[in-house]
């Protein structure tokens, strides 16, 4: 792949022109404009063709028919009255001037004129029953005539025709008109194409300018709406929604990194200070060891925060749905209640439990354990002595609700929406040990299961309600996740194979 | 015990090797996957501590898979900075016996390696466990100390059973959390200590010599105190 690059021209100069042409065609505006001009042109040509067919074609057909009828009538006269009757009829027609465009010529077998209004047999006419269009000279005027001759019995030949100079004029008129129309079409087509391209460019210019600004890092830009409510407006709206979401995520990331900076900097600073202080001031080995131990403890706290953050990120990425299985929450709750009951009892807190004998659902057992454990530990941590913590669970067709309530200080209503943010710590929580990540983790776990964590007032205290859909995901979502996982796995093995090949 | 440490980070390797030697083990060290695989395959070890990301073309996972493909059943503990659940699952699926995420406390590593290699020796199906005058009958689920019957809750029984199976070894809180309760999260409260102290009330308090000892900065150990 590195040595051969077939699409890269060896020498740049001669390749520039075709590339530019292709790039011009790659512009959607130009493409649409060309398409527009093409459609316009084709429809004009079709219109001209039909116009021509219906005028000149019709006249042609009418002339042919007239000549044929004329010839048939004259032939009948010849048949019934012989040559003299035919000559008489011809002379009569010519003299009476029934049709000034009519042309007749009757010749004997030697080619001598017997009757008719042509002085001589026109040149080039030698096959009977064939249409000829030839220039003729008639009463001193040069004009065009459409004619045809018939062999009569006895070697006589009858030429019947019509002067079509009027039609020729019409044809010329039509042709000129069409040429003008074509010129107008080319002009209009080009103009229209340019207008379309301009419209496209203008409609897209704002979008591309905005997105370019965003790409440069200016997240305040938004696509202007034209107000027509058209497709471009729809696109602009979609893009703006996307930008809002990106901005929100970016702010979230910024907040988290600020919080990380603060929450990790503090213990690291303390550990560092302790170590430095011990290094320069510790008098005994015991003092030194104590300082080192405490610094190690601080660092363990940092690691804990790290792990919690990574775990939340891992859960939020949704990568852990692979561990979803059919589980029963009742034994999970029983075990957790028993596990923490020891701590509660030590603090003189009673744990009340109410739940049905089974709580079947689809989910990740380990994570739900952790979610309930976090809520329960919180409740025990903030519950005053000689009060109770209540764990209860309810189930309906769609959801399982796990409720953990304490009689502690609770969270003020104004703070509740923020309580599940990473590193959020309420006024009261600030003095207690903790990472500020517990509720964020619970919320992430709930979200992964398609549920929510609700924080309510227990008057007094906090009531945390974990609402979990029993069938956590609809089949379509499950399928999507499965496909996604397959793709990821494929990509992983692919990159693994690439790496091996590379090594 | 003879332990092989395959770890490319000099500081971490030095720290682990020194600690294991201090704990009385014989330690060999390889700083890349190729040498590690060669040593693991050609010599006998009681345990292998294996980093996942290694130089030398063979990473920890491949090393272990190759080893297992040769029917080598030496207990292996992964020591890795890759700490996500999927990473752990991958490590255990490849044939690892334990998985410890960096950063780690040495006490945790030592306790886990010792527990792992003992597990590897193939404990036959025992029906009775005993530490000093403390006896546990696994069939009747009865516990006696100095002939005196002790009543335990089911979970307390399992906690004591775990401690007795690892008698003479340090057992960390994480090991108890995973081994007794099958929990894989880190409680904020000292809940394990509370459970231990409850157990202590029942098996140690009424008797003269304590069996359940707290090991500072590490965990707990069940053993008979030498006079």
* Fold classified for A318-486: Heat Shock Protein 90 (3.30.565)
Task: State whether A310 and B84 contact (CB < 8 Å).
Answer: yes
pLDDT score, position A7: 46
Alpha-carbon B189 to chain mean position: 22
Put simply, whether B57 touches A (Cβ < 8 Å) is: yes
Q: Residue B148 pLDDT > 60, yes or no?
A: yes
B198 contact residues in A (CB cutoff 8 A): 342
| Other beta carbons less than 10 A from residue B212's beta carbon | 18
Nearest C-alpha in B relative to A322 = B86
* Dihedral of the alpha carbons of A338, A343, A349, A350, in degrees to the nearest 10: 10
DSSP state of A443: H
Question: Could you give the angle at the alpha carbon of A327 between the alpha carbons of A322 and A328, nearest 5°?
Answer: 160
Sign of CA dihedral A400, A406, A407, A411: negative
CA atoms within 13 A on the CB side of A309: 18
Q: Which residue of A has its CA nearest to B189?
A: A377
The CATH architecture one would assign to domain A18-212 is: 2-Layer Sandwich (3.30)
The CA-CA-CA angle for residues B64, B67, B69, to 5°, reads 110
* Averaged pLDDT score across all residues of chain B: 89
Chosen for mutation from A324, A343, A366, A439 (greatest number of chain B CBs closer than 10 Å) is: A343
CB burial class (10 A; 0-12, 13-18, 19+) of residue A499?
exposed
Contact (CB, 8 A) for A249 and A316: no
Question: For residue A5, what are its two tokens?
Answer: 């690059």
- Cβ A342–B198 below 8 Å, yes or no? yes
145-164 of B, contacting A, C-beta below 8 A: 155
Q: How far apart are CA B134 and CA B151, in angstroms?
A: 13
| Cβ-based contacts of B105 with chain A (< 8 Å) | 300
Query: B183 — contact with chain A (CB < 8 Å)?
Result: yes
| Sequential DSSP letters for A21-59 | HHHHHH-HHHHHHHHHHHHHHHHHHHHHHHHHIIIIIHH
Mean pLDDT of B84-92: 84
Nearest to A146 by CA among A52, A62, A53: A62
Parse chain B into domains and list their residue ranges.
2-120, 128-222
Q: Give Cα separations from A228 to A196, A198, A238, A325 (angstroms).
A: 17, 17, 15, 50
List A392's β-bridge partners, or say none: A354, A403
Query: In the CATH hierarchy, which top-level class contains the domain B128-222?
Result: mainly alpha
Chain A residue nearest residue B182, CA to CA = A366
Class of domain B2-120: alpha beta
Q: Is B85–A314 a contact, with Cβ atoms under 8 angstroms apart?
A: yes
Rg of chain A over all Cα atoms, to the nearest angstrom:
49
Comparing alpha-carbon positions, the chain B residue that sits nearest to A293 is B217
B81 contacts chain A (CB < 8 A): no
Residues 6+ apart with CB under 8 A from A40: A185, A188, A189, A192
Query: Of residues A226 and B190, which shows the higher confidence score?
Result: B190
Residue A431 is predicted with a pLDDT of 64
pLDDT score at A125: 80
Question: Would you list the domain boundaries of chain A?
Answer: 18-212, 231-306, 318-486
Residues of B in contact with A369 (CB under 8 A): 183-185
CA–CA dist B56, B53 (Å, integer): 10
Q: Say if the Cβ atoms of B184 and A300 lie within 8 Å.
A: no
A23: three-class secondary structure by DSSP: helix
Go through chain B and tell me how many residues it has: 227
pLDDT in tens, chain A (503 residues): 444 444 444 444 444 455 555 556 666 777 777 787 788 778 878 887 888 788 878 888 888 888 888 888 888 888 888 888 888 888 888 887 667 788 888 888 888 888 888 878 887 788 888 888 888 877 677 778 888 888 888 888 888 888 887 777 888 888 888 888 788 878 887 888 788 778 877 777 888 888 888 888 787 888 887 777 778 888 888 888 888 888 877 877 787 777 777 778 888 888 898 899 888 888 898 989 888 888 888 888 888 888 888 888 878 776 556 678 888 999 999 999 999 998 999 889 999 999 999 899 988 888 899 999 999 998 998 889 999 999 999 998 889 999 999 988 888 888 887 777 777 776 666 666 677 788 888 988 888 888 889 888 888 888 999 999 987 555 455 555 555 555 655 555 555 555 444 43
Supply the pLDDT for residue B77. Answer: 94
Helix (H, G, I), strand (E, B) or coil at B57: coil
| Residue B86: closest C-alpha in chain A | A320
- Whether ipTM > 0.90 holds is no
Instruction: Judge contact between B83 and A310, C-beta under 8 A.
Output: yes
pLDDT for A491: 58
């Amino acid at each position: 792949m590195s040595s051969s690059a077939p699409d890269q021209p060896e020498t740049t100069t001669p390749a520039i022109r075709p590339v530019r042409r292709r790039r011009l065609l790659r512009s959607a505006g130009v493409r649409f404009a060309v398409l527009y001009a093409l459609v316009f042109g084709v429809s004009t040509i079709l219109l001209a063709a039909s116009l021509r067919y219906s005028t000149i074609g019709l006249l042609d057909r009418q002339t042919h028919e007239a000549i044929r009828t004329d010839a048939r009538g004259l032939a009948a006269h010849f048949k019934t009255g012989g040559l003299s009757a035919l000559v008489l009829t011809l002379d009569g027609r010519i003299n009476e001037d029934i049709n000034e465009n009519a042309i007749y010529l009757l010749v004997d077998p030697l080619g001598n004129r017997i009757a008719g209004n042509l002085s001589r047999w026109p040149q080039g006419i030698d096959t009977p029953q064939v249409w000829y269009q030839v220039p003729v000279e008639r009463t001193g005027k040069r004009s065009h005539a459409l004619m045809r001759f018939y062999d009569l019995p006895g070697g006589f030949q009858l030429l019947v025709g019509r002067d079509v100079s009027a039609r020729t004029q019409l044809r010329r008129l039509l042709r000129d008109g069409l040429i003008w129309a074509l010129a107008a079409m080319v002009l209009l087509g080009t103009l229209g194409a340019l207008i379309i391209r301009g419209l496209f460019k203008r409609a897209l210019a704002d979008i591309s300018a905005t997105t370019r600004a965003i790409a440069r890092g200016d997240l305040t830009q938004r696509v202007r709406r034209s107000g027509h409510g058209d497709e471009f407006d729809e696109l602009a709206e979609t893009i703006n929604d996307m930008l809002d979401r990106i901005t929100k995520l970016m702010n979230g990331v910024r907040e988290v990194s600020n919080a990380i900076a603060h929450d990790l900097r503090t213990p690291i600073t303390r550990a560092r200070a302790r170590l430095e202080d011990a290094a320069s001031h510790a008098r005994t080995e015991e003092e030194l060891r104590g300082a080192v131990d405490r610094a190690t403890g601080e660092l363990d706290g940092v690691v804990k925060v790290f792990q919690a953050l990574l775990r939340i990120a891992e859960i939020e990425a949704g990568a852990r749905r692979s561990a979803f299985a059919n589980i029963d929450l009742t034994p999970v709750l029983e075990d957790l209640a028993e596990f923490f009951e020891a701590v509660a009892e030590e603090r003189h807190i009673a744990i009340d439990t109410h739940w049905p004998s089974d709580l079947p659902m689809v989910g990740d057992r380990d994570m739900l354990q952790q979610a309930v454990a976090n809520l329960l530990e919180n409740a025990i941590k903030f519950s005053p002595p000689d009060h109770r913590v209540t764990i209860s669970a309810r189930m309906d067709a769609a959801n399982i609700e796990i409720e953990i309530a304490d009689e502690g200080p609770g969270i003020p209503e104004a703070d509740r929406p923020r309580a599940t943010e990473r590193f959020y710590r309420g006024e009261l929580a600030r003095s207690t040990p903790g990472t500020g990540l517990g509720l964020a983790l619970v919320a992430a776990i709930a979200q992964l299961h398609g549920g929510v964590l609700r924080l309510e007032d227990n008057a007094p205290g906090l009531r945390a309600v974990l609402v979990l859909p029993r069938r956590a995901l609809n089949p379509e979502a499950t399928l999507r996740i499965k496909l996604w996982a397959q793709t990821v796995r494929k990509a992983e093995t692919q990159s693994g194979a690439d790496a091996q090949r590379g090594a | 015990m003879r332990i092989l440490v395959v770890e490319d980070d000099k500081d971490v390797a030095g720290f682990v090797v020194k600690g294991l030697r201090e704990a009385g083990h014989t330690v060999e060290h390889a700083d890349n996957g190729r040498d590690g695989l060669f040593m693991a395959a050609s010599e006998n070890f009681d345990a292998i501590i294996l980093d996942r990301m290694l130089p030398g073309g063979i990473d920890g996972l491949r090393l272990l898979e190759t080893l297992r493909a040769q029917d080598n059943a030496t207990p292996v503990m992964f020591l890795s900075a890759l700490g996500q659940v999927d990473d752990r699952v991958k490590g255990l699926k490849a044939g690892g016996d334990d998985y410890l995420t960096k950063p780690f406390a040495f006490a945790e590593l030592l306790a886990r390696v010792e527990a792992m290699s003992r597990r590897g020796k193939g404990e036959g199906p025992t029906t009775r466990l005993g530490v000093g005058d403390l006896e546990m009958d696994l069939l009747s689920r009865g516990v006696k100390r100095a002939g005196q019957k002790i009543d335990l809750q089911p979970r307390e029984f399992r906690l004591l059973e775990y401690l007795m199976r690892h008698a003479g070894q340090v057992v960390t809180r994480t090991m108890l959390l995973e081994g007794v309760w099958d929990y894989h999260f880190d409680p904020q409260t000292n809940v394990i200590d509370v459970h231990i102290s409850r157990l202590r009330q029942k098996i140690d308090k009424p008797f003269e010599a304590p069996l359940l000892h707290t090991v500072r900065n590490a965990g707990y150990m069940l053993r008979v105190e030498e006079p």
